[in-house]
Amino acid sequence: MAAVLSQSAQMSSSTVVHPISNNRAASADSLQLMERGAAPSIINGRYPAATAEADLPQKQQPPLTQQVDVVNVLCNFKTHCHLDLRTLAMKGSNVVFRRDPSSVLMKLRSVPVTASIWSTGRVVCMGARSEKDALIGARRIARKIQKCGFQLRFVDYQIKNVLAVASLPFGVRIDKLKDAFSREVSYEPELHPAASWRLPDIGGQMQIFQTGSVSITAPNVATAQLTFDTIFPKLRLYSKPKESDTIIRVLANGKKSKATKAKGPAAKKLKTSASMVDFEDLEEMDLDDDDDDDSESE
C-alpha cells in the first residue's frame, strides 16, 4: 500500500504545472505583442502566444470611391400671387432690380443663396451647398417677400438640378475611354476639352477632364453620388499620372541639371531654386518636342 502511494505521489509531482514559469512566458509573449502594436487578448485567464498573422504587414488597398463636393443646388418654388417688382425692389433688402429680363435678384447673408424673382410669382434659388440649405434659403426668401406686403403661399417647391465636383487621384486617358465606351461617352475635342458620360437609367451626367477633374450634374445629391460611384471604377482602368505631377518633375530635373553645371555664386541660387518649382516657368518652357525634331531634321 505504501508502494502504491509513493508511485502516485511521484506521478503527480512529475505532472505538476509550475504557475510561475507559465506566467513569465505569458508576460514575455504579451510584451512582444505590445511592442508590435497589437493588443494581447486574455483567454481563460492567460495570454495567448504570438501568432504568425500578427507579424504579417497589412496592406492598405486604394479606395474604390470617394465623396463628391456639392457646389450648387438649384431649386424653385411658386408664390401663387402676382408680384410687383418695383414695390419689391423699393421695400426689400439686398435686392437688385433688372429691367432687361424684368426680374429682381435677392441675396441672403446667412445662407449663400441668390434668388431670381419674376412678376408671375416664380422664384428660382441657387448657390446652396446642400439640399437642407436650399430649403432653408427658399423659405427665408419667401418670408422676406411676405414682409414686403404680398400675400403668398410657399408651394410647388422642388430641386431641379445639383452640381457636384471631384478631383480624382489620377489623370484619365480620354481617347481610350471613348474607344472602350463609345455608346455612353461622347468626346469632341474641337468643341470641348471634356468627355461627357451620360447615364440615362440613373439620370446623371459626368464631365471628365484629362487632368482628373470631374463635374457631375444630377437631379439630387444622392443621384450625383451614385453617378460617381458607378463611373469611378471604370475610370481607374484608363488612369495615367497627373499632368501637374509630370510637369513639376520635369521642371525640377531641369533646374537641378542647371545647378550642377553652374559655378560660383550663381550655383547657390540655382541650387536653392531647384527645390522650389514655379508654374510661371511653364510659359518659358516648351514641353512639345515638335520644334526640336524639325530643327534636327533641317
State the chain's maximal CA–CA distance in angstroms. Answer: 122
- Superfamily of domain 168-240 in CATH is TATA-Binding Protein (3.30.310.10)
User: What is the reported pLDDT for 47?
Assistant: 47
CB 172 within 8 A of CB 143: no
Element (H, E) at 49: none
Q: Do domains 69-160 and 168-240 have the same CATH topology?
A: yes
Q: 72 pLDDT exceeds 90?
A: yes
Selected residue with higher pLDDT from 6 and 211: 211
CB 226 within 8 A of CB 204: yes
- Note the residue count of the chain: 298
Beta-carbon contacts of residue 107 (< 8 Å; ≥ 6 apart): 94, 95, 113, 114, 115
Q: How far is CA 233 from the centre of its chain?
A: 14
**pLDDT tier at 286 (50, 70, 90 boundaries)?**
very low
Bridge-based pairing state of the strands 114-118 and 195-199: unpaired
Judged by DSSP in three states, 280 sits in coil
Query: Please, which residues bridge with residue 144 across strands?
Result: none
Selected residue with higher pLDDT from 290 and 93: 93
> Which residue, among 138, 110, 135, has the nearest Cα to 124 in the 3D structure?
138
The yes/no answer on whether domain 69-160 falls in CATH 3.30.310.10 is yes
Q: 122 pLDDT exceeds 90?
A: yes
Segment 192-198 shows an average pLDDT of 93
CA distance 176 to 178: 5
CB 172 within 8 A of CB 234: no
Domain ranges of the chain: 69-160, 168-240
CA distance 118 to 100: 12
**pLDDT tier at 235 (50, 70, 90 boundaries)?**
very high
DSSP percent split of the chain into helix, strand, coil, nearest 5: 40, 25, 35
Mean pLDDT, the chain, integer: 75
Q: Which of 117-126, 149-158, 251-260 has the lowest mean pLDDT?
A: 251-260
CB 150 within 8 A of CB 89: no
